[in-house]
């Protein structure tokens, strides 16, 4: 299953293919998708946090989360105070709480 988010502040769609490696794509003109080269694997969930001007993707393996402010340049995120289980399959962001929430088959991060 593909997962997509839209960042209105950037006029940009970002799409990932669930469970794959090197499959992040962007779309800004409604016609032409662009493949984003990356070396992250096991992509699972994606969210746009407009207030923080950033995307976050969960992955099936370390680094667990990757982040980007433009949808094209991705970096490993710090994973504090938790033991990574390799199971986070979805992620959401609450602007009211300024909090990301991620869950999977084994538990909550």
What pTM was computed for the model? 0.82
Query: Which residue would you say has higher pLDDT here, 102 or 27?
Result: 27
CA atoms within 13 A on the CB side of 73: 2
Return the domain boundaries, the chain. Answer: 2-104
CA distances for 9 relative to 14, 54, 107, angstroms: 13, 10, 32
Dump strand ranges (E) for the chain.
2-7, 12-17, 24-27, 33-36, 43-49, 54-59, 65-68, 75-76, 88-94, 99-104
Contact 92, 101 (CB under 8 A): yes
pLDDT digits (tens, 9 = 90+) for 31-66: 999 999 888 878 888 999 998 999 998 887 766 788
């Amino acid at each position: 299953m593909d997962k997509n988010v839209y960042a209105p502040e950037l006029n940009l769609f970002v799409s990932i293919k669930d469970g794959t490696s090197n499959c992040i794509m962007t779309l800004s003109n409604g016609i032409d998708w662009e493949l984003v080269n990356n070396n992250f694997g096991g992509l699972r969930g994606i969210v746009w946090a407009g207030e923080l001007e950033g995307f976050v993707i969960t992955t099936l393996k370390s680094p667990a989360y990757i982040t980007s402010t433009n949808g094209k340049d991705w970096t490993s995120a710090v994973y504090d105070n938790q033991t990574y289980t390799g199971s986070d399959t979805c992620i959401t962001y609450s602007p009211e709480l300024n909090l990301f929430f991620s869950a999977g088959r084994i538990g909550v991060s």
